[in-house]
Amino acid sequence: MKKIAVIGQGYVGLPLAIEFSQHFPVIGFDINKERVDELNSGQDRTLEADLEKLNQGIQSAKATNFTKGYKASCDLGELATAQIYIVTVPTPIDKFNAPDLAPLIKASEMLGKVIKKGDIIIYESTVYPGCTEEDCVPVLEKFSGLELNQDFYVGYSPERIVPGDKVNTLTTIMKVTSGSTPEIAEEIDQLYKTIITAGTHKATNIKVAEASKAIENAQRDVNISFVNELALIFDRIGIDTNDVLEAAGTKFNFLKYKPGLVGGHCISVDPYYLAHKAVQLGYHPNVILSGRRVNDSVAEFIASKVIKLMIKKQKTIDYSNALILGVTFKENCPDVRNTKVVDVYKELQEYGVDVDIYDPWANPEEVMHEYGVNICKELPQKTYDAIILAVAHNEFLTLDINKLKNDQAVVYDIKACLDRDLVDGRL
């Protein structure tokens, strides 16, 4: 039986490794030794792992002489014992919104040093069409001295993990697969069929599979940008966007998107990968980039709206204080990757407001490392001139907002989930 190595043990790689460990021997490879030690002890800070399956996999690896089961490792020697490598490293954007392929290229360099004849490398990281064959394969060939489709093979199967979603999980979402030859495409497809109960879709080639991932999130981004633009228009008209959407939603074919901050590891990033490839080919993607501009402007709009509401209540802005409830990019999830709540925080600070962030789900050390922002894990014992509900964590839905308010305090509800009698404005 072939051994699988999953490169990167984060939100995507860990659930994948755990599921495969029920059928195969799996190495969960990560360069962070602290993370490796944590996983080998049966713990997971991302809260994405099925801890029962994780521990079952760990015990199986010990009991069966590793004919199946799970073991986390940062040892290249152990990595080299695999025959199938699945790459799940992050593919972020830089400060200019250009694709940052550094983690992907470094992973490819590392694999180039350990792969052997007959090995298969499958990429799951989100990329633009052509990236696997044009950017990753040359690196694999250079560092291995091997040749694609003669000595080793590649495939692409885009990740579709939804962080925090305990209903639409890895195994219940259909998986797109592809390979560098028809035979390898079929082998990769059959591999994923062992764990994906929803079934698989074998794409005609690797570029098609890459493009399918890019447009999934670009489509959502454009749709959300439309309702965000509506929010900007309806604010000027003086009507509630959510009331308009509720009325329009009574028609069967109306798409029920809601306005909001668009962050996270996919929706706010993937469109730039698709746009990057389009520009390379001489086409300027107007719709995709205009949607990005609208969505990136929402944090500034929210902050300015809160300030206007405070002025209307005759609040002095300098030395006022505000509380932001939530910093993760979505509710009931510790994931803070590319969260846009931090943009609201920084905009309010620019106005001279003293801002606290309270989030019982987020890791304060991670937020400080990523954004240089201090957050509170416990609700501060003081009152505020402005309160902004940014993330709809369950804990916030039962919070007594009145106990947090100073006299004439402004309450702004980005998620439109609080009692309307409590709020002064909502997106």
Active centre residues (catalytic): 266
DSSP string, 146-203: --BTTTBEEEE------TT-SSS-GGGS-EEE-BSSHHHHHHHHHHHHTT-TT-EEE-
What amino acid occupies position 322? A
Q: How far apart are CA 192 and CA 188, in angstroms?
A: 6
Distance CA 261, CA 295 (A): 7
With contact defined as beta carbons under 8 Å apart, do 122 and 154 qualify? Answer: yes
Tell me the two tokens of residue 200: 């698989």
Per-residue b or e along 297-307, where b marks 16 or more CB atoms closer than 10 Å to that residue's CB: ebbebbbebbb
How big is the chain, counted in residues?
Answer: 427
Distance CA 201, CA 363 (A): 37
Please say whether the beta carbons of 416 and 242 come within 8 A. Answer: yes
CA distances from 349 to 65, 175, 300, 396, 411 (A): 57, 43, 12, 23, 17
C-alpha distances in Å from residue 227, one per residue of 178, 255, 262, 421: 35, 10, 12, 24
Nearest CA-CA partner of 46 in 59, 35, 62: 35
Phi, psi of 334 (to 5 degrees): -85, 5
For residues 319, 363, 266 and 21, what is the CA-based torsion angle, rounded to 10 degrees? 180
**Radius of gyration of the chain from Cα atoms?**
23
Nearest to 380 by CA among 359, 395, 409: 359
What is 214-273 written as a DSSP string? HHHHHHHHHHHHHHHHHHHHHHHHT--HHHHHHHHTTSTT----------TTTTTTHHHH
Distances (CA, A) of 297 to 11, 73, 318, 387: 27, 42, 24, 20
